[in-house]
Every structure is written in structure tokens, then in C-alpha cells.
Amino acid sequence: MFKALTIAGSDSGGGAGIQADLKTFQELQVFGMSALTAVTAQNTLGVHGVYPMTAEAVSQQIKAIGEDMGTDAIKTGMLFNAEIIEAVSEHLVRYQWKNVVVDPVMIAKGGASLLQQEAISALKKYLLPRALVITPNIPEAEVLTDMSIRTAQDKREAVMRLFDLGVKNIVLKGGHDEDPSESVDLLFDGKEFYTFSSKRISTKNTHGTGCTFSAAITAWLAKGLSVLEAVTKAKEFIQAAIEEEIEIGQGHGPTNHWAYRKRNKVLIDS
């Protein structure tokens, strides 16, 4: 039985956060577990409230998993403050967990802040050096690298700067690219660059794409795939989730988490 742990916030609308992570794990036949960092009141129209857990509460949830069930891979999402980040990092060291995917969630699609400003330095100091993979979008990478990212060369420079912070593999997502026809993600493993191009879909239903993509990477890593293989399959998963739209809510709707399984029409190999 493959297992994955998500350490993230709750999305009451079900499109992002731990809800998206657990749905993704389930679709890829990985047993999902969670440690909740915050409760958000949100829907497709935006985030209406953020209510963080204490660092002790987060720590106890992770400890409960680590001392009993264990995990094959971990994904972090919304961590909110420096205290929670430090607590998470301490447990990664304590249990020697290696397959760590960090989605550096900072800002919701509606513009609400999901990471306190003073937490950014803690993220860079404590968590990034423990990450096997980090999956920032362009605005998040700009914050982490203190540079503007506009060109393909900017992307390469940014991922190399992130590598210098101790991250082993960086996936810079291209969803914020200005190209109207395609989105290009860039993977850097410290030696080689790999690009993943996908057709840009004209849709407003993209809520939770980052969470879902990083959760899919986590699930494939839990099943023993390499980083390159996991990213490749995760791209297929999220592309299907965006292309096979579902209409929910009045704003930015969620992606379709069962589209990949439906498209493949067979049970995913375990």
C-alpha cells in the first residue's frame, strides 16, 4: 500500500488545499493522510477567511502519522507562518522523510495572502533545503529569487537560484506565461533542463491547479517513480483535469480530478 501525507490548509470549496490533494491521491491509488495547517472559508469567488492552526497542533498531527503509519511521500501546501514551517521542517528531519514536494503557496487566485511575509525567509531557510521537489509558479518564484521572470532565460536563472538554496529539483510552472497558446513548465535537476509544453485551455475553471499538480507528483513519487517520470505523469493528470471541465460555482471553478482516470479508461497500475 502506497501512502502520501499532505500538510496543507483546508479549502471549504473543495477545489484546492487538502481536499484537492486527497482527491488526487485517491485517483492515483495512493492512500492519503493529512495534517491541517489552517481552515479557510472560501469558494469559487475567493477566500473569505483564514484561520490558522497552532504550530503545536500541526506538529501533533504529523507526529501521529510518523509514529504509526509512516508515509512514502509528503506534500506541503499552505503553511501560513514561520512557526508552522519550522515545526514541519523539524519532523522531516526527525522521521528522515526524503520524498518531499513543496508547493510554496503564497497567494490565492483571488489575491488573498496565504503566507505571512515573515514566513518567506523561514521557508527558504528551513524547508527548501529539505525538499526533493519544489513547484512554484512564476509569481512565487519571483518572490523566492528576488528577480523578475519574463523570458526563457529568466526562467533558467530563477531555477538555478532556487537550486542554490538547496532544492534538488525545481519545477517552475508556466501557467502565468504570456503566451496565449501554450504553457511551458521547466524542470531543473541540478544538471539538466527539461521542458513540458501543454496547450493552454481557455477556461475560468482552474482553481486548485497548483495543488493538484504537486499532489500528483507526490503520489507518483510515493509509488517509486523518478522525479522526471513523476512530473511527466503529473502533467498528464493536470492537463486532463483542466481540459475536461466541470462547472461548479460562480467564479473560478475547480478542476476535474477524475478526468485522468476517465480518460485512461482503465485502473491505474499499482
Catalytic residues: 173, 206, 208-211
Minimal CA–CA distance to 213: which of 4, 24, 70?
Answer: 24
- AA identity, residue 242: I
H helices of the chain, where? Answer: 17-27, 55-66, 82-94, 119-122, 138-145, 152-164, 209-222, 227-243, 259-264
H helices of 135-223, where? Answer: 138-145, 152-164, 209-222
Cα gap 145→74, rounded to integer Å:
24
Each residue of 152-179: b (16+ CB within 10 Å) or e?
Answer: eebbeebbebbbebebbbbbbbbbebee
Contact in structure between 55 and 84 (CB atoms under 8 Å) = yes
Cα gap 141→139, rounded to integer Å:
5
Cα gap 264→118, rounded to integer Å:
44
Q: How long, in residues, is the chain?
A: 270
Residue 194 burial by Cβ neighbours in a 10 Å radius (0-12, 13-18, 19+):
middle
Cα gap 196→237, rounded to integer Å:
13
